[in-house]
Amino acid sequence: MVSALPFVRSVWKSFLSTSGLEPALLPNLKLTDAVPGLVKMELTIEKEHTNRLEILHGGTIASLVDLGGSLAVSSRGLFSTGVSTDLNVTYLSSGGKIGDHVLIESRCHKLGKTLAFTTVEFYKPSTKELLARGTHTKYVANALKDPKNKLEEYKI
């Protein structure tokens, strides 16, 4: 399967240069691998990612579900990744504390003419324990028209 990592990194770079949230919250997020339909990332938990219990904040995870779903859509060749219509998060275990690492796997299960359906899962690297799982649905009808897209190159 062809690597989608360079394209997904270009989309991530666009997020970092144009968005307000991602550069403030996730400047050190590492994209480690991408193929069409799957993006792998790693986050080292820092103070700004935690809640008052000094563990990974649920809002950080929710933001990563939003971003992860978008990057999974980009792995299918969309530079513009659409807008959110639905986002859900299930928290299964504490995500860890400052200095801990979290592995994130984002999948785009279906890219249709109007909607894209994604899941994002969070794992503890040492045990592969599932910490949280999210779903993210995106409206992509307008995004499919972006001239920067590479739909044919990353078709599944």
Domains, the chain: 5-145 (3.10.129.10)
pLDDT of amino acid 69: 98
Task: List, for residues 115-142, the tens digit of each pLDDT value.
Answer: 999 999 999 998 999 999 999 999 999 9
Task: List, for residues 104-115, the tens digit of each pLDDT value.
Answer: 999 999 999 999
pTM given for the model: 0.96
CB contact set of 110 (below 8 Å; sequence gap of 6+) = 116, 117
Cα–Cα distance for residue pair 41/30, rounded to 1 Å: 5
pLDDT of amino acid 155: 85
Residue 1 has pLDDT above 90, yes or no: no
Task: List, for residues 8-39, the tens digit of each pLDDT value.
Answer: 999 999 999 999 999 999 999 999 999 999 99
Interval 58-78 mean pLDDT = 98
Interval 37-45 mean pLDDT = 98
pLDDT of amino acid 95: 87
Residue-averaged pLDDT of the chain = 96
Q: Are 60 and 25 in contact (CB under 8 A)?
A: yes
Q: Are 85 and 108 in contact (CB under 8 A)?
A: no
For residue 110, give the nearest of 68, 146, 69 by alpha carbon: 69
Cα–Cα distance for residue pair 73/36, rounded to 1 Å: 9
